[in-house]
Amino acid sequence: MSFEKTKTAFIFPGQGSQKIGMGRTVAEAFPEAKSVFEEVDEALGENLSKIIFSGEQEVLNLTENTQPAIMATSIATLRVMEKADPIEAYCVAVAGHSLGEYSALCASGALSLADTARLLKIRGKAMQEAVPVGIGAMSAILGLGFDTLKEITEETGCEIANDNCEGQIVISGTKESVERGMLAARKAGARKAIELPVSAPFHCKLMQPAAEKMAEALANVEIQSPKLPIIANVTATQVDSPEKIRELLVQQVTGMVRWRESVKYMHKVGIHNLTEIGFGKVLSGMTKRIEETMNSVCLQHPEDIEAYLK
């Protein structure tokens, strides 16, 4: 697959943007969106949509709920757009941040919606159970370059989990190693080092038990050739082989989310517009900090979708 010049990629958010009520107005306005939430409920054998639309925030924040919930909200938005035209009419590639990669795979037809929901439920639960609560930690380091922070992690024993954008990098590992990393980052001139309110240390080697569970789950799922290239988190380049997709999804559990490099790769191959599909504006907000010349927009409310389609 090759990219055309000055085209659009659809990007899908990861964990952290969840909020009670997300996707509700879209589901109320469009039957196509409502049916996505119903299909996810059926696939999981539980009323996840009730938690999303009117539940308690702490229940939605449970990783096993958050992951399928964010995906469902993204795909519901996409299905509304696809009533007018298929995804290939809007964009030339897809990418997603961490769990958002599953949304991207679903959007591109590589995974069915039901399988995506079930995989994310398993992934969320496996990641939660991989490390006892209180053993691991994550921290956002603001204002330090990647190379400097890479040296710090090697010295302190934590790992880079998310390379989000210039000056915004997340570290992960045992609580002690992350605390050492935060202290060293401050000494090296970081503007801020903020411990994140997460229940597990994602995207580091402590997640190996979860990676093994995902390898088992993914072995039993059919992955089709995607209709569009996926820009993978682990490689920050395009992938379109079902077997390679399967392999990278397992690696992604313990591996670094190379988001900054992914956006730079898209820019390099001629993509200048990023459209964030789903709730929140986290990825859109990062775009200009990665590539100043790239444009980004977020579709999360009925009026956003209608304006975009016009």
Instruction: State the catalytic residues.
Output: 98, 203
The answer to whether the CB of 63 falls within 8 A of the CB of 15 is yes
Q: List % helix, strand, coil for the chain (3-state, nearest 5).
A: 50, 15, 30
Cα(291)–Cα(284) distance, rounded to whole angstroms?
11
Q: Which two tokens stand for residue 200?
A: 């597990």
Cα(112)–Cα(92) distance, rounded to whole angstroms?
20
- How remote is the C-alpha of 289 from its chain's centroid? 18
Q: What CA–CA distances, in Å, run from 92 to 31, 159, 219, 222?
A: 26, 33, 28, 23
